[in-house]
Structures are given as structure tokens and as C-alpha cells.
Amino acid sequence: MTCLRVLIGIGFVCLFATVCVAPVMAAYPERPIRLVVPVAPGGGNDIVARLLGRKLTEAWGAQVVVDNRPGAATAIGADIVAKANPDGYTIMLTSASFAINAALHPKLPFDPINDFAPITLAARVPQVLLGNAALPVQSVPDLLKLAKAKPGQLNYGSAGTGSSTHLAMELFMDMTGISLTHVPYKGTSPALADLVAGQVQVIFDAIPPTVQFIKSGRVKALAVAAPARFPSIPNVPTMAESGLTEYRFSSWFVIMAPVRVPRAIIEQLNRELVRIIHEPQIKAQFVNLGVEPLGTTPEEAGSHVRKEIAVYKQVIQRHHIRAD
């Protein structure tokens, strides 16, 4: 009986010791979160990241710090995130450029699929087909008629070889059978400026930076490459309304983390980000920017990125596109 009491006593001592020395799992997040944006400040990526980061900070009390790491068409910032400690304190908001980069460069310092854990597809940014204000066309059918009458004589601008604006036009030419001459720029801003000046006749661009140019009449908006008209430019028809029922082309913003971040943290981030994206005030701000709010599951986000990489690879290979 004495031995039994001793054994029971030892058991309680061991249990007490275990409880006392076992580490307590900290609640996430307990310190600032770094949100890497792999482009320079001021663009659509940066605006969306700062908007979501501010709302996350308000919701959780832990500061979200936006860290712009531009360069190599998003590869520098993506590489930082791929190699970061997978504890949920380094995440990334990137765009379609990430998928284009993966399609264009087979040898990146990271695996664009297997080195990242998708959190959510936050938003989509439809492309809009724009014409110079003096161009004698008012619609997509008008443009196709003019381009077929003058093969190779109309110029189109892009943000650079292999950019989303370049691939958007290559896909457009594939589907319509027209031939335009490519004039690559170092970014969409100079391409848009030369469209206004008449140095190029047409471009594809995202809606946010072009809305004021469209509303002021400095450029002609011929069609939105989206399933439905966009609220910020409601008078601009869709490609489907213009006769191209199969044409879709959008940029997008996806939030990802290093691949080994615990699933519980991925789910927590997903729940909070989706909630924020669907707040009426945030949705209204997105739409005013020309951005379509989404907020998907991690699985849907991952599927989207994989499909987009495959689509871009097809266009790049078909047209023998090489990076600048």
C-alpha cells in the first residue's frame, strides 16, 4: 500500500512537472506581419496590399507592415517569401505577373507552385481595350475592320515583352486574325502616355489607371475583357457584347505564404481576409479603383494560379516570346 502511494505521488509530480515546463502555444498573430509586395510602391498591387494590411491591423491589433521588394518581374520579392520562415509572419500579395514570370522563365530561384501556400485570390482586375482618341473607330468590330484593311500598320503598346498587356493583345490577335505591330515600353504608364499622344493606336491596360483617361475622352474605351460591364465604366461594352464571346483577360491579386506555414494559420488568414474583402466599405473602395473583389478559398486560389501559368505558357510558346 505504501508503494502504491509512492507511485501515485511520483505520477502527480511528473504530471505537474510536464504541465509546468510544456511550452504554451502563442496565439497568432502575436507580433507584426510582413506583407511583401514584389513591385514598387504606387501601383495596384501596392494600393490593394495597403488597404488589406490596414484592415488586418485594425482587426488583430498586430501591425501588418507592407514591404515593397520590386525587381525581376516580381521574382525578387517572391524569392524572399519562398525562403522565409514558415511561421505565418511573412506573406505576399502578388499579381498575374507572378504567373507570367513562371511561364516565361523556366529556371527561377523558387518553384512557383510547390514553394508557396495560397491563402486567397483577393481580387480581379479586368483589362480594357483602349484606342487613341483620333483613331477612326468606335467599337471592336470597327477596329477589326480597320486592322484587316491595314495589316501590320497599326501599332499597339504594352508594358514590355512578356507583360500581361503584351499577352492580352497577342491572345486578342489570335482570336480575331488581325496583325498589329508591337511597341514594348518599360511599364504601362509610358505606353498609356504614348496612346494619348498617338504614337501607338491601341493598348490593353488594367481599368484602375485608365478610368480618368476614359472619362475625360483622352482615350477611347472599346471593350472590357470581362464577363460583365464594370461599374466604374458602365458605358463600355464587354468583349462578348462586341462579338468575342470567348475572350477573357484579367490581371489579379493573390495572397500567398511559404509552403510550410501551418494549415491552421493559413485558414485563419483566409477567414479574416475574405471577411475584410466582403465588407461593404472595402468592396466599394475596390470597385471605385476598378478592382473586382473576390476572396476565395486557398484551394481555389491555388487552382487559379496553376491554370493561369498554363494559359500564359501556351501563348508564350505559340508566339516564341522571350523576356527583355
Q: What is the pLDDT of residues 38-88, one digit of tens each?
A: 988 877 788 899 999 999 999 999 999 999 998 888 899 999 999 999 999
Q: What is the pLDDT of residues 117-155, one digit of tens each?
A: 999 999 998 899 999 999 999 999 999 999 999 999 999
Strands (E), the chain: 33-37, 64-68, 90-95, 116-132, 155-158, 181-184, 202-206, 219-224, 250-258, 292-293
Determine the average pLDDT of the residues in 15-38: 68
Does position 258 have pLDDT exceeding 70, yes or no? yes
Whole-number percent of the chain with pLDDT over 70: 92
Report pTM: 0.80
Q: What is the pLDDT of residues 171-190, one digit of tens each?
A: 999 999 999 999 998 888 89
Q: Which CATH architecture has domain 33-124+251-318?
A: 3-Layer(aba) Sandwich (3.40)
**Rounded CA separation 4/9 (Å):** 8
**Rounded CA separation 31/34 (Å):** 10
**Domain ranges (residues) in the chain:** 33-124+251-318, 126-224
Domain 126-224 bears CATH identifier 3.40.190.10: yes
pLDDT bin (cut points 50, 70, 90) of residue 23 is very low
Question: Is 33-124+251-318's fold the same as 126-224's?
Answer: yes
Q: What is the pLDDT of residues 81-94, one digit of tens each?
A: 999 999 999 999 99
Dihedrals phi, psi of 177, to nearest 5 degrees: 80, 15
pLDDT bin (cut points 50, 70, 90) of residue 21 is very low
3-state SS assignment for residue 174: helix
Residue with cell 509610358: 190
Q: Which of 251, 66, 40 is nearest to 165 (CA)?
A: 251
CB 103 within 8 A of CB 316: yes
**Rounded CA separation 205/194 (Å):** 13
Q: What is the pLDDT of residues 178-237, one digit of tens each?
A: 999 999 988 888 999 999 999 999 999 988 888 889 999 999 999 999 888 988 899 999
